[in-house]
């Protein structure tokens, strides 16, 4: 049985140990390579301020690179009896380098270790999420441009309302994702601040150079106040998952539309047979299960910020073990959302559009507003035109003119997709992932 980093002379009760560790060891495997990166930056700083010899630094960095490779290849494990990733890394170093391995913890606590691990992990996962959002965005814009001239009904109150188009429908969700990136960018900026050096939340009497670790890890700035750095545990996760929930809400709404539009009562779009599932007793069924599961998963993701809020909202400043539980709801959220984005991207790229929806007479009244506007443009007061068209509908004399002319910005005939793409591209550039990745490549040597 491995000794705990904090253990003194009294062994802990086995049930207490199991309860307090919980799922920490499983969750910490996801943080392993980020724990190594944080340690690499920390020991370079320790050498710079005279708390490590250069020869010791060289040995430690070489071993940490080997541990990083293990983690990158999915081969890093936390051994039985070892409490967490921090303990495992330090134990591996001490096992290989003896007393030199015991020096890496000077000037830090597991509190600021896990803070920096989570921030480094979150940065990497946000980048993956942005890539997945961008891929779906690109498909939606491509489909919007491809089907820009194909009309479909627009609804209010689920009643036939006014003409819309597939150009508008696909493009609307693309622009929604762009707005979601705006919120994700704000979450990124809060994430990309360095808590390392705050130790247990009250700093250290060692002459730490926090700007050096900030630069080595590619952070924009540090969390300046050490108490606030610790208070950021939970706040960062809540902020980020609020942004993820925004993406999930967009995808969930799209999934709902897709389920509805593929049903026989609508018949607006069709999925390739290989993207649907069947029924055990109804041979005609082609069910949109992927969209249904996407809708459910994305709705579940929207509950994560509230779960984190309920864990943290009555805690005072300082560290509490409650915060450990956040990992269990936070870490898996990224993969679940990315999976939903990838599946939705695949489905929307292959969806087949019904190009003759409005030949059905049930949609004739879509064009009532067009007729009101035509009469108004000819000189009739709007309210009189509205009344005349209404009377024609009531008496069964309304004859739709299905030629429409929408030219203003963002309308059927002027989608403004180029501008929407520019908006998205500008947001993605502001993340500046290249700066972060270059810093980490340099850190790894």
Residue 192 has pLDDT above 90, yes or no: yes
Minimal CA–CA distance to 5: which of 128, 130, 146, 105? 105
Domains and CATH numbers, the chain: 14-103 (1.10.275.10), 110-205+224-359+415-432 (1.20.200.10), 363-414 (no CATH)
The pLDDT score that the predictor gives to residue 267 is: 93
What percentage of residues in the chain have a pLDDT greater than 90? 84
Q: Across residues 372-397, what is the average pLDDT? A: 95
Q: 18 or 104, which is more confident?
A: 104
pLDDT beyond 60 at 5:
no
Query: In the structure, what pLDDT confidence band is assigned to residue 27 with cuts at 50, 70 and 90?
Result: confident
Determine the pLDDT at residue 271: 86
- Per-residue pLDDT, 432: 97
pLDDT the model gives residue 322: 86
Closest Cα partner for 293 from 275, 274, 269, 268?
A: 275
pLDDT in tens, 114-162: 999 999 999 999 999 999 999 999 999 999 999 999 999 999 999 999 9
Residues 197 and 107 sit within 8 Å (Cβ to Cβ): yes
pLDDT of residue 320: 84
Q: How confident is the prediction for the chain on average, in pLDDT?
A: 93
Say if residue 1's pLDDT is above 50: no
Q: Give me the pLDDT at residue 3, please.
A: 54
Q: 73-107, pLDDT tens digit by residue?
A: 999 999 988 888 999 999 999 999 999 999 999 99
Q: What's the average model confidence in pLDDT over 238-245?
A: 98
Confidence of residue 21 (pLDDT cuts 50, 70, 90): low
CA distance 94 to 60: 10
**pLDDT score recorded for residue 6:** 44
Candidate from 42-46, 244-248, 364-368 with smallest mean pLDDT:
364-368
Question: Cα 89 to the chain's mean position, in Å?
Answer: 29
The pTM of this model reads 0.92
Instruction: Give percent of the chain with pLDDT exceeding 70.
Output: 94
């Amino acid at each position: 049985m491995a000794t705990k980093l904090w253990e003194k002379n009294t062994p802990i009760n086995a049930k207490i140990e199991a309860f307090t560790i919980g799922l920490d060891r499983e969750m910490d495997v996801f943080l392993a390579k980020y724990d190594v990166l944080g340690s690499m930056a920390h020991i370079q700083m320790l050498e710079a301020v005279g708390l490590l010899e250069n020869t010791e630094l060289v040995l430690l960095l070489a071993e940490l690179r080997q541990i990083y490779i293990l983690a990158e290849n999915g081969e890093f494990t936390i051994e039985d009896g070892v409490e967490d990733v921090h303990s495992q890394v330090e134990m591996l170093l001490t096992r290989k380098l003896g007393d030199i391995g015991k020096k890496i913890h000077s000037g830090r606590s597991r509190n600021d270790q896990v803070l920096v691990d989570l921030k480094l992990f979150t940065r990497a996962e946000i980048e993956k999420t942005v890539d997945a959002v961008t891929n779906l965005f690109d498909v939606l814009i491509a489909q919007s441009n491809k089907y820009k001239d194909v009309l479909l009904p627009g609804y209010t109150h689920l009643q036939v309302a006014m003409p819309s188009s597939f150009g508008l429908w696909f493009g609307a969700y693309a622009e929604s994702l762009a707005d979601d990136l705006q919120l994700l960018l704000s979450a990124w900026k809060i994430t990309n601040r360095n808590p390392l050096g705050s130790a247990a939340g009250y700093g250290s009497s060692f002459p730490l150079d926090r700007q050096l670790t900030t630069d080595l890890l590619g952070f924009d700035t540090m969390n300046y106040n050490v108490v606030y750095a610790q208070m950021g545990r939970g706040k960062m996760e809540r902020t980020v998952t609020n942004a993820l929930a925004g993406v999930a809400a967009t995808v969930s709404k799209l999934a709902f539309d897709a389920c509805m539009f593929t049903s026989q009562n609508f018949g607006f779009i069709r999925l390739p047979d290989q993207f649907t599932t069947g029924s055990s007793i109804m041979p005609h069924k082609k069910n949109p299960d992927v969209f249904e599961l996407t809708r459910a998963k994305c709705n579940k993701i929207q509950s994560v910020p509230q779960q984190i809020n309920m864990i943290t909202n009555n805690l005072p400043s300082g560290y509490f073990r409650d915060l450990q539980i956040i990992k269990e709801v936070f870490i898996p959220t990224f993969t679940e959302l990315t999976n939903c984005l990838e599946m939705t991207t695949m489905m929307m790229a292959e969806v087949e559009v019904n190009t003759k929806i409005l030949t059905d007479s049930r949609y004739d009244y879509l064009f009532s507003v067009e007729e009101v506007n035509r009469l108004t443009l000819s000189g009739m007061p709007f309210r009189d035109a509205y009344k005349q068209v209404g009377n024609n509908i009531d008496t069964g004399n309304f004859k739709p003119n299905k030629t429409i002319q929408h030219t203003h910005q963002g309308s059927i005939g002027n989608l403004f997709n180029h501008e929407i793409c520019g908006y998205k591209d500008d947001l993605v550039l502001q993340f500046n992932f290249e700066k972060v990745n270059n810093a980490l490549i340099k850190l790894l040597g």
